[in-house]
């Protein structure tokens, strides 16, 4: 059913007072205060921004950000030449590793060419001699067999001194030994014919045991050579390395996490593959059922930001509940279960990303610290630190932005503990906001129709959905703002609106177009307190052309953010 969206007009009525004129003159030209730059903090953007925002919650002129990070391109053609070269070098290293089965060797102790970082489990051969190639190995086996024959002969003759003739005479000695055995066999024929067969069998076995097993060596060597000719297949997040064009996007993540240092990025990839095998990611993703109702309240996905990144909400305040905290962190087993559930949740979220060049392959993380347990909770600190280390080591460049809201005063101390574990690149993605600026900060990055009501948006179950766009208006201090919805045909008009923080007066009325009709009061003007419902919903059945007028009167000394949207439905006749 097609719906018509009426044209919207807005106007603002401002009393011409001197005080208001002074206020208006300062708003269009906000000047950032230089205080944060004067602060003597080195290489710690995270702390500087936190102190600026949290310690000054009353400063409404701007929402500070930590750094000016901009997400780089994942299209190879748009990369600088140096980065293209680094990507090609990394792909060559990975291809060589795949050809040599080095990724499988990470978890196979019998492989000689394993990573130097993991604990090696050398075989007796590797402990006593360096690795040799196949040709040298065959020569070595022959020398060993010849040496064993020489030793067997010399030990039978006590008069022979250690320096013996070269092994060239060995075949002659073997021939004499065989003739002697044949003579013994012939002599035994007259005694017992049955013994002759046994003697022949023993002779054959003795002769064959003295000959080196060259065919087996050749077979083993050919098998190893065949295996080396077939490159192994390794996948990360469901993408086979070098067999899919999405590989470039994956490799760029590791390169950027290591500042395009190719060898370091390669080592990071090998370590990640090893960790994924040890952590049993495939089993975790498809087999384990770790979901729990209380855990699903602590972390969940909801909507997208203005650039299309999926948004993940981490609600630390849920752990303030003693029962929930006990179920999650009371002992090591529970902490490990929570960690595995968190990794499982992340893996499922990553599989929904678009790793095609130019696609959305990162996530926005919103961390709500309201009512979060304080820094005295040792178990939570340990679990957070462990999770942070795993994410940083094995999930590079998956965060487009980290937004911390409702940041309490004690977080500064916790931040100083976490900061050394973070790279400067990671810190540049962080944004912090105190309780008074959390909604404003989130609306800067997430559209109101995508932002949950509890965080300042309009996203909730009801008549409106995430596809119904929201209009944002800033109402100046001591000003009255009106919004008009023109209507030309009979319909049912529905709308919802909210003012962040409220503490304003709100009214609604319908004004007919015909001169002889009367204005209808839909909502009598009244003061809406911040403690009331965050979103007001109204609807009005219109039977003649006219307009619906909403009035927001902001008598406070602070600017207010107004959000609203509407839709029409054809009106059924009575």
Model confidence over 410-446: pLDDT tens digits?
786 777 777 887 777 778 898 999 999 999 999 999 9
Q: Quickly state the pLDDT bin for 203 (edges 50, 70, 90).
A: very low
b/e code 490-514 from CB counts within 10 Å (16+ = b): ebebbbbbbbbbbebebbbbbebee
CA 248/CA 431 separation, integer angstroms: 29
pLDDT of 6 reads: 52
- For residue 542, give the DSSP letter: E
Model confidence over 302-343: pLDDT tens digits?
999 999 999 999 999 999 999 999 989 999 999 999 999 999
CA 36/CA 174 separation, integer angstroms: 91
CA 462/CA 482 separation, integer angstroms: 25
Residue owning tokens 């820094």:
375
pLDDT of 153 reads: 33
Q: Name the residue with higher pLDDT: 558 or 181.
A: 558
pTM here is: 0.69
* Partners of 364 in the β-ladder: 311, 401
Domains contained in the chain, CATH given: 74-100+233-279 (1.10.8), 291-333+345-446 (3.40.525.10), 471-570 (2.60.120.680)
SS3 513: coil
The residue-averaged pLDDT of 148-152 equals 34
- For the residues of 153-194, what is the DSSP string, one character each? HHHH-TT--SSPPPGGGHHHHHHHHHHHHHHHHHHTTTT-HH
pLDDT of 175 reads: 54
């Amino acid at each position: 059913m097609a719906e018509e969206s009426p044209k919207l007009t807005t106007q603002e009525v401002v009393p011409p007072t001197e005080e208001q004129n002074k206020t208006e003159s300062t708003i269009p030209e906000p000047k950032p205060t230089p205080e944060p730059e004067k602060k003597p903090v080195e290489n710690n953007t995270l702390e500087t921004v936190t102190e600026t925002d949290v310690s000054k919650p009353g400063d409404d002129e701007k929402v500070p950000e930590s750094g000016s990070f901009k997400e780089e391109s994942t299209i190879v053609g748009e990369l600088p030449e140096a980065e293209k070269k680094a990507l090609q070098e990394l792909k060559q290293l990975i291809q060589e590793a795949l050809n040599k089965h080095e990724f499988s060797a990470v978890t196979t102790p019998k492989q000689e060419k394993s990573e130097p970082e993991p604990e090696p489990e050398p075989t007796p051969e590797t402990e006593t001699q360096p690795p040799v190639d196949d040709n040298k190995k065959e020569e070595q086996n022959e020398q060993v067999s010849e040496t064993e024959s020489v030793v067997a002969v010399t030990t039978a003759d006590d008069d022979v001194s250690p320096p013996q003739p070269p092994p060239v005479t060995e075949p002659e000695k073997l021939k004499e030994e065989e003739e002697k055995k044949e003579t013994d066999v012939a002599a035994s024929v007259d005694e017992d014919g049955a013994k002759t067969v046994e003697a022949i069998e023993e002779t054959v076995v003795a002769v064959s045991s003295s000959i080196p097993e060259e065919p087996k060596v050749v077979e083993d060597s050919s098998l190893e050579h065949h295996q080396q000719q077939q490159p192994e297949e390794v996948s990360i997040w469901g993408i086979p390395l070098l067999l899919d064009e999405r590989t470039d996007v994956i490799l760029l993540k590791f390169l950027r996490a290591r500042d395009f240092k190719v060898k370091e990025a390669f080592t990071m990839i090998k370590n990640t593959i090893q960790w994924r095998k040890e952590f049993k990611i495939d089993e975790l993703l498809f087999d384990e059922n770790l979901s729990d109702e209380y855990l699903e309240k602590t972390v969940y996905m909801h909507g997208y930001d203005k650039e299309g990144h999926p948004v993940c909400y981490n609600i630390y305040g849920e752990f303030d509940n003693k029962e929930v905290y006990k179920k999650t962190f009371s002992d090591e087993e529970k902490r490990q279960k929570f960690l595995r559930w968190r990794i499982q949740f992340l893996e499922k979220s990553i599989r929904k990303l678009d790793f095609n060049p130019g696609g959305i392959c990162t996530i926005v993380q919103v961390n709500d610290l309201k009512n979060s347990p304080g820094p005295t909770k040792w178990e939570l600190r340990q679990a957070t630190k462990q999770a942070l280390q795993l994410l940083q080591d094995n999930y590079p460049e998956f965060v487009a932005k980290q937004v911390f809201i409702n940041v309490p005063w004690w977080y500064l101390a916790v931040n100083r503990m976490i900061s050394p574990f973070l790279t400067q690149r990671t810190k540049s993605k962080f944004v912090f906001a105190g309780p008074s600026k959390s909604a404003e900060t989130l609306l800067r990055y997430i559209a109101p129709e995508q932002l949950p009501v509890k965080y300042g948006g309009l996203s909730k179950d009801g008549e409106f959905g995430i596809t119904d766009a929201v209009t944002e208006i800033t109402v100046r201090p001591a000003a009255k703002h009106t919004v008009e919805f023109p209507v030309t045909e009979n319909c049912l008009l529905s709308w919802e609106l909210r003012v962040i923080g409220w503490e304003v007066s709100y009214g609604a009325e319908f004004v007919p177009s015909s001169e002889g009709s009367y204005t209808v009061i839909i909502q009598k003007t009244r003061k809406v307190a911040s403690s009331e419902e965050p979103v007001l919903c109204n609807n009005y059945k219109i039977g003649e052309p006219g307009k619906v007028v909403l009035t927001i009167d902001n008598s406070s000394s602070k600017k207010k953010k107004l959000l609203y949207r509407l839709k029409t439905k054809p009106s059924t006749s009575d």
